[in-house]
Structures are given as C-alpha cells and as structure tokens.
Amino acid sequence: MTDTPARVRELSLYRRYFDLVAAGAKTVEVRVRYPHLADLAPGDTIRFRVKGTDETCDVRVDRVTAYPDFESLLDGEGSAHVNPTATRSQQLADIRAIYPPEKEALGALAIGIERVADQ
C-alpha cells in the first residue's frame, strides 16, 4: 500500500451550487468520470471557484463513488445531499443541462465533501 499525499484540486462551480457548498448544505458534488478526476481520493482538498470570479471555498473529500449515470447517482446518494433546494427531477434536468449525453456516458462521480473551516 502506498501513501499518496493529499492534493488541492481547483474546480469551477456555478454560483447557486457554490453558495450551497459554502453554507455546508451541499455534501455531495456531482461530476462526470473524466480522466483528470480518476485519482481524486479521500483527504484531497477541492478549492471550488465561482465561475468567472476569484471567490473560492475549500472542501475536504470524504469519499468518491462511481455510478454508471446520473439517475443511479441520485438514487444512491439521495438528492437532498446533492442539492437540498431542488427536487430529484429538477436536479436530474439541471445536471443533464450541464453535462450532455456523451459526457454522462463516461459515468458519474459522487464526491462526498465537507466544508473546510476558513483559515
């Protein structure tokens, strides 16, 4: 077993999701299983940045779970953890508006996150 040092990843978020993360209400981030996220691991830090700004929020990755698609992810994680302000059907529509079918075909990642207290 090798110990991989925790890393800091920077990812963009739309304002409405950023605010939920910053408030600690969003505890699961949804992403496509892109190759550049393949080595994301518990203990890593994600620095979310509001698209088009310098505003950031750090979270610690608790776990990373792969799913075949977004429907399976919402069923497995519980939609309230992904976005407590929207229904499951609205979340599915919103996620698919961001990620078209060819991206969803790569698979989905549920990234368990915990807000890191401001330093």
Span 19-67, pLDDT tens digits:
999 999 999 999 999 999 999 999 999 999 998 899 999 999 999 999 9
The residue with tokens 């963009």 is: 12
Domain ranges of the chain: 8-115
Contact between residue 74 and residue 82 where contact means Cβ atoms under 8 Å apart? yes
Contacts of 57 (CB under 8 A, 6+ apart): 18, 21, 22, 47, 48, 115
Say what the pTM is: 0.92
CATH number for 8-115: choose from 2.30.130.30, 2.40.37.10, 2.60.40.10, 2.40.10.340.
2.30.130.30
Span 62-77, pLDDT tens digits:
999 999 999 999 999 9
